[in-house]
């Protein structure tokens, strides 16, 4: 059993950091990536859901952010609506994040393979630029296919439970009152934001694992080391894309907050004019520095460990 796990772990090391020739990939490996990614996303988002909801509330309002105010929002939400209300909108998050993470991680493996073959790095770790590109393409693919679910999740996070009873009610009400095109309101800043976010996240995580392999004598990272690598990846990725994250949240929730945000530039101008560049566009970033590294660390670590387990079971 021990030797089998060690061999599976070594295979993960090769699969996670190198580009496999297409002949070595089959449907079981694709399904493994999909399942591992889905579980990784679900665990990560559930763990930080209360912080995520609080961050969204500040992003879409003109209220000034501070740690004290964030704690007050959490506390009064708990008092007025109950403990489980801190996870309000998490069901919509799961409906989105499970396919999103599954697609993103699986697409990342496929893009690594395709780019590796194109650049002639078959069987070797990708160089920096293709590694960055693989992450950006994976994030863009996942965001494009699951965007309406992200909008629904944002609406549920910032509205009282009396307004939307469930996910289907959100879809039905938006379609009836605002039109189907509203389901893609804020899509452009989402894609523009996910390119640096996903690109830097995957790039940083895989680069740190590659450096660990180079200077650690080929030893596999322990789970806590993977968590640290993932935390660094999340910190860099989310900091780089945060202003666009604020813009997309404002555009997504315009229908329920009374604002009229028509484009990225007009939304940026309105935020800067009313709240200032730093206070407006980076509102809630300090909370993101807490929740982002935790979520991304859990996500990457879960994906890797699930890959180890599934490969061990197959062998």
Q: Domain boundaries in the chain? A: 186-283
Is pLDDT of 118 > 90? no
More confident residue, 221 or 28: 221
Q: Model pTM?
A: 0.75
Summarised one tens digit per residue, pLDDT across range 37-48 is: 999 999 998 888
Q: How many other CB atoms are there within 10 angstroms of residue 212's CB atom? A: 19
Tell me the C-alpha distance between 54 and 293, whole Å.
Answer: 16
CA 134 to chain CA centroid, nearest Å:
15
Tell me the C-alpha distance between 152 and 141, whole Å.
Answer: 19
Tell me the C-alpha distance between 88 and 84, whole Å.
Answer: 7
CB-based contacts of 147, cutoff 8 Å, min separation 6: 183, 184, 187, 190
Q: Which of 57, 24, 198, 55 is nearest to 123 (CA)?
A: 24
Tell me the C-alpha distance between 63 and 309, whole Å.
Answer: 46
Report CA Rg, the chain: 20
Summarised one tens digit per residue, pLDDT across range 251-307 is: 877 766 667 677 788 888 888 988 888 888 888 787 778 888 999 999 999 999 999
- Of 12-26, 107-121, 138-152, the poorest mean pLDDT is in 12-26
């Amino acid at each position: 059993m021990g030797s089998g796990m060690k061999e599976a772990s070594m295979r993960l090391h090769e699969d996670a950091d190198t580009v496999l020739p297409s002949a070595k990939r089959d449907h079981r490996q694709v399904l493994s990536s999909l399942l591992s990614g889905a579980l990784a996303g679900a665990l990560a988002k559930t763990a930080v859901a209360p912080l995520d909801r609080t961050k969204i509330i500040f992003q879409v309002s003109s209220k000034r952010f501070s740690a004290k105010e964030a704690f007050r929002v959490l506390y009064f939400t708990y008092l007025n609506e109950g403990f489980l209300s801190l996870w309000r909108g998490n069901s919509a998050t799961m409906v989105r994040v499970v396919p999103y993470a599954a697609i993103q991680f699986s697409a990342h493996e496929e893009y690594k393979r395709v780019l590796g073959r194109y650049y002639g790095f078959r069987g070797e770790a990708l160089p920096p630029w293709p590694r960055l590109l693989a992450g950006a393409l994976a994030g863009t693919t996942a965001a494009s296919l699951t965007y309406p679910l992200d909008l629904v999740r944002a609406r549920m996070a910032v509205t009282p439970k009396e307004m939307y009873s469930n996910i289907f009610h959100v879809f039905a009400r938006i379609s009836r009152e605002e039109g189907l095109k509203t389901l893609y309101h804020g899509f452009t800043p989402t894609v523009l934001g996910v390119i640096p976010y996903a690109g830097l996240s995957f790039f940083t995580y895989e680069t740190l694992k590659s450096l660990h392999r180079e200077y650690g004598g080929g030893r596999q990272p322990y789970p806590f080391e993977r968590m640290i690598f993932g935390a660094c990846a999340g910190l860099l990725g989310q900091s780089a894309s945060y202003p666009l994250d604020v813009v997309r949240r404002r555009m997504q929730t315009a229908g329920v907050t009374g604002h009229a945000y028509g484009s990225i530039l007009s939304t940026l101008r309105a935020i800067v004019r009313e709240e200032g560049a730093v206070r407006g566009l980076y509102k809630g970033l300090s909370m993101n520095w807490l929740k982002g590294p935790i979520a991304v660390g859990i996500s990457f670590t879960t994906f890797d460990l699930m890959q180890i387990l599934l490969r061990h079971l197959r062998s």
